[in-house]
Structure 1
Amino acid sequence: MKTQSFLIKIMLLALPIFFMDCSEQLNEEQELVVQQGDIDYTSAESAFGALVGSYRAFQSMGWEQIPLLAVRGDDVNSGGLGDQQGFADTDNFIYDNNYWMYNSLWNNWFQDVLQITVQIDQLKEFKANGVSVDLIDQYIAESKALRGFITLQLSRAFGDVYKIDTPDQTQIEVLPKDELMQWVSDQMDEAIPHLLDAHPVDRNDLPGGITRYTALAVKAMANLELENYQGVADATGQIINSNKFQLFNDFYNLFKIPGKLNRENILEIQYSDFGQSSGDNVGHLYAFYGSQNWTPAVAGARSGWGFYEPSLKFIKFMLDRNESIRLETSVLFTNRGIAELEAAGYTNLPSFVSNTTRDGDRINDYSRAMFASGKHYLPSVQLTPGRTNYGTNKNFTVIRYAEVLLMYAEALTRGATGNAGSADDAVNEVRNRAGLTPISGATSEDVLDEKFAEFSMEWGIRYADMVRLGKTDELSYDGRSFTMEKAFLPYPLAQLEQSFILREYVNNNN
């Protein structure tokens, strides 16, 4: 576990010195005021601390951010009862711009973007004071990749959002989504030549840190949003042809402790309890995703809150495909959920459709949902002895090689040319890991189905695909009615009240 916790440890130890104050909000007609502190700009060690400041900003993800990105997809439902009515309404495309989650998603991530931009500005000072040009250019490129990924996700959620490439607030502007995606792609082009040509886990200084393949993946994602499929094929083809990545051979454990820093993961947010029963614990609050009522194999392990549910539509889709390992991994079943499937005609369910997981945790019935997300589940037997919080010590997977393969495959089925094999090759590599028979003559719909099966509950990938392609019929399920006017969340009321930049943009574009 030494390499897996290395980044976490330096974040804990180094950041009080190098993480700059970013308390000024994006709402004042003045330049950002940054407390620089006492920094030796001639020191490569201090420059490394500035880089770690960018990673800390990225890794400070709140528990509410990813569920809000994902809940509108037809793979995910909100837990029906509880104190988050706005989250349930969002799942049904009923938006309230005063709902706190919208403001939190916007404010927290744009503060992270601004903080990373401050770190980039700071890194330039080290170069001006004689620290290795190549080293500083690499650190700046890593920061740009992190900033680009967050900006992409925010634009997927809200559409036209801030482009921030300076800490000077008077120079920040709101851009249309397509222009932002092109900016992200261009930023990755600037970053790629300066990044390490390595798998992230092979970095000695920051195991799991950004390399050129992370930036290529972000570039591919931006070009997918632009429907520039040749750009997608070119970027993903470079990743495939590097031969540095491979699918993890155990899909079930891919999202658990054995899957930390594996050779499939291109980017992940690292957490650790350092193998200790008490003391420092850098973790994510996974309870939001977990079942509200369970009998864990390890007594005392805490349950979740029950707010995040795999949809019945997704589960039926997987059963109809005879999926096994991906369905078992993605869904935790209650007896009430199993009864619902049987009532829908699925009377010959496979043996893994059980309210007891292979690791012995029993998922009891609870009121909010019939199913829970298996990808956000950590078996109680994998908890460090003495730790009891749901999912603690589990990393958060961000970008996987499987996504690269299927982006490449889709690009080819939509007319792009590639030099990293055929669409069939890419799709069948993913299907083979899932225990499915190979297909021939893969179509765009085949790829979308494969992505549905592979990436359920992850980062709103399904929702982004359906919006990109205008598939309103897929998102109009189980009584929901989706139109493209509902594609983006409304700007948070708190931001409209506070930000002259955003108000001016809205007024000029009404």
Structure 2
Amino acid sequence: MKPVKYILFTFSVAGMLFATACHDLLDEPAENRAFTEETDYTISENMVLPLIGAYADFYQRGWEDIPLLAVRGDDVNHGGEGDQQDYANTDYFNYNQNFWMFNSVWQNMYKDIFTAHSAMEQIELYIANGASASRGDQYIAEAKVLRAWLMLQLSRMWGDVFITESSDPAQLYTLAPSPKTEVMQHISDQMDEAVPNLPDMRPNERTDIPGGVTRYTALAIKAMAHLEMENYQGVADATGSIISSGLFTLEPDFYNLFKIPGKLNDENLLELQYSDFGQGSGDNISHLFGFYGPQNWTPAVDGAGGGWGFFEPSLKWIKFMLDRGEQLRLETSVLFTNRGIAEIQEDPEYADLPEWISNTTPSGDVINDFPRGLFSSGKQYLPSNQLTEGRTAYGTNKNYIITRYAEILLMHAEALTRGATSSVMTADEAVNEVRDRAGLSPLSGVTTQQVMDEKFAELAMELGIRYYDMIRIDNYNALSYDGRQFTADKEYLPYPQAQVDLLPVLGEDAE
């Protein structure tokens, strides 16, 4: 068991060295809620505690998880050539199997999958000892949804992965990785089991666990699994159920959707939740947004800290948005430096830029030139004037939106343009609802390419959505840009060498 504990619950030495070099040591995620002889499963009101533990671990995503999901898309560039070179190489599809980040993300996600299994097993014990079966079934369904999201991301990154069956890590010695299609079907089946037991409401309507998952979170994950399988009718059916509920709306203020006012918004189906409890000191549950922030800025609020500069909107995406005449989504999604603006203008076609493009954000923060990049991502940006007084760390108190209604609408539209049917909403209606918020004119007779362009514009810098779209439809040309050359054999990351050494079946699978 000792090797399994190692692969699931520790970071590599390289990872720890990098972490201590870039920031103060982070608080460790909550420990896996293990069974103990002291637990009294007859105390029914405690049945929620294992679920709370699963949520806590799910929210405490490692800062490396989402950048690794996202960096290979043509909407995002790594920052910092020469610093964390293997991260930069991953952006160029040159994979080092020994890269600590590969191993860490694998560990982070499987650890939380086992936490979800443990929660489900403990809830079953509470039910067996007299707790409400209906309430317990809901809690189990919630844990299934958290587990399903993690499995979806693992399979997007690595393709064939383990479908776990319990909280016992030793099972990894006996399992073989399941093909990606089987993983996605398993996720869909799990969501079918979960939906009837989940609350019929938006996450922000829940009062027992505010922002907790609901049946619509499960349907969104089901739709994503069917998208990966290219089962477009399945996508249309799942997204259609979300749309027809009438519960979700697009937030009119796109800029603030990704900031403090956007927390637990009517648009959000799943988000990682953080809080400083409105206090300038003391308890603080936070994501490390510093990874995404500019290294050098002059904040509107003196003393607000900057970031690391490791996550940069691509010049390709910025020019794509300029060609479309976009302002709201471009101004929201990109923090410009003067050096970046000059780089855009080196192309004669973009010599004359709109006056609103500036290194000063709409919130008054000035983004100065910094060595690791030309731009920073605005979707992971929190204006300094939205920090709680006394807090200075970049992004403190900001939530991380995982899935929002705009993505549901655009998945629905794509499915319809690829042959699916729906009586809920047409592709034109779905796309135009998103375009209307962005201040763009409506389209008629929407094509698949127009939907994919709208997804590119709307969902850039969000969890690698663009990359996984492009490999799903074999659009390798889109990913071959600015010196990158993408080929089919680069779709999935190699299994981390540390995992192959401990679980040789992974090496066999690669062969």
TM-score range, shorter chain: over 0.9
Amino acid paired to 1:446 = Q
In the TM superposition, 1:92-491 aligns within 5 A as: 92-168=92-168, 169-170=170-171, 172-345=175-348, 346-491=350-495
CA distance 1:312–1:138, shift in 2 (3 Å): same
1:292 Cα shift? 0.7
Matched, 1:507 2:488: no
Greater mean alpha carbon deviation, residues 477-486 or residues 43-52: 43-52
2:33–2:50 Cα contact (<8 Å) kept: no
Quote the residue 1:46 is aligned against: 46
Number of aligned pairs?
483
Q: Take 1:181 and 1:197, find their aligned partners in 2: how far apart are those partners?
A: 24
Amino acid paired to 2:341 = I
CA distance 1:26–1:291, shift in 2 (3 Å): closer
1:82 Cα shift? 4.9
| Structure 2 counterpart SS, 1:162 | coil
Q: Take 2:444 and 2:302, find their aligned partners in 1: how far apart are those partners?
A: 48
Q: Take 2:239 and 2:267, find their aligned partners in 1: how far apart are those partners?
A: 14
Aligned-pair identity in percent equals 59
| Structure 1 counterpart SS, 2:177 | strand
Amino acid paired to 2:505 = E
CA distance 1:181–1:309, shift in 2 (3 Å): same
Q: Residues 223-243 of structure 1, C-alpha deviation per residue, up to 9 Å, x if partnerless?
A: 000000000000000000000
Q: Take 1:27 and 1:236, find their aligned partners in 2: how far apart are those partners?
A: 34
1:50–1:119 Cα contact (<8 Å) kept: yes
1:81–1:367 Cα contact (<8 Å) kept: no
1:367 Cα shift? 1.1
Q: Take 1:33 and 1:340, find their aligned partners in 2: how far apart are those partners?
A: 50
2:80–2:88 Cα contact (<8 Å) kept: yes
1:505 Cα shift? 4.4
| Structure 1 counterpart SS, 2:252 | coil
Q: Take 1:231 and 1:172, find their aligned partners in 2: how far apart are those partners?
A: 28
1:44 Cα shift? 2.8
Structure 1 gaps of 5+ residues are 1-21
Q: TM-score, normalised by structure 1?
A: 0.92
Quote the residue 1:14 is aligned against: none
| Structure 1 counterpart SS, 2:58 | helix
Q: Take 1:505 and 1:274, find their aligned partners in 2: how far apart are those partners?
A: 44
Amino acid paired to 1:220 = A
CA distance 1:282–1:27, shift in 2 (3 Å): closer
Amino acid paired to 1:390 = Y
Q: Take 1:456 and 1:262, find their aligned partners in 2: how far apart are those partners?
A: 19
| Structure 1 counterpart SS, 2:162 | strand
Q: Take 1:326 and 1:89, find their aligned partners in 2: how far apart are those partners?
A: 29
1:166–1:172 Cα contact (<8 Å) kept: no
1:81 Cα shift? 3.1
Q: CA RMSD in A?
A: 1.7
1:245–1:263 Cα contact (<8 Å) kept: yes
1:121 Cα shift? 1.1
1:127 Cα shift? 1.2
1:264–1:400 Cα contact (<8 Å) kept: yes
CA distance 1:317–1:398, shift in 2 (3 Å): same
Quote the residue 1:13 is aligned against: none
1:167 Cα shift? 2.0
Q: Take 2:277 and 2:506, find their aligned partners in 1: how far apart are those partners?
A: 46
1:76–1:311 Cα contact (<8 Å) kept: yes
1:86–1:96 Cα contact (<8 Å) kept: yes
2:455–2:466 Cα contact (<8 Å) kept: yes
1:332–1:357 Cα contact (<8 Å) kept: yes
2:80–2:310 Cα contact (<8 Å) kept: yes
1:45 Cα shift? 2.0
Q: Take 1:209 and 1:33, find their aligned partners in 2: how far apart are those partners?
A: 19
Q: Take 2:56 and 2:510, find their aligned partners in 1: how far apart are those partners?
A: 35
Matched, 1:24 2:5: yes
1:33 Cα shift? 11
Q: Take 1:246 and 1:359, find their aligned partners in 2: how far apart are those partners?
A: 25
2:33–2:118 Cα contact (<8 Å) kept: no
1:265–1:401 Cα contact (<8 Å) kept: yes
| Structure 2 counterpart SS, 1:399 | strand
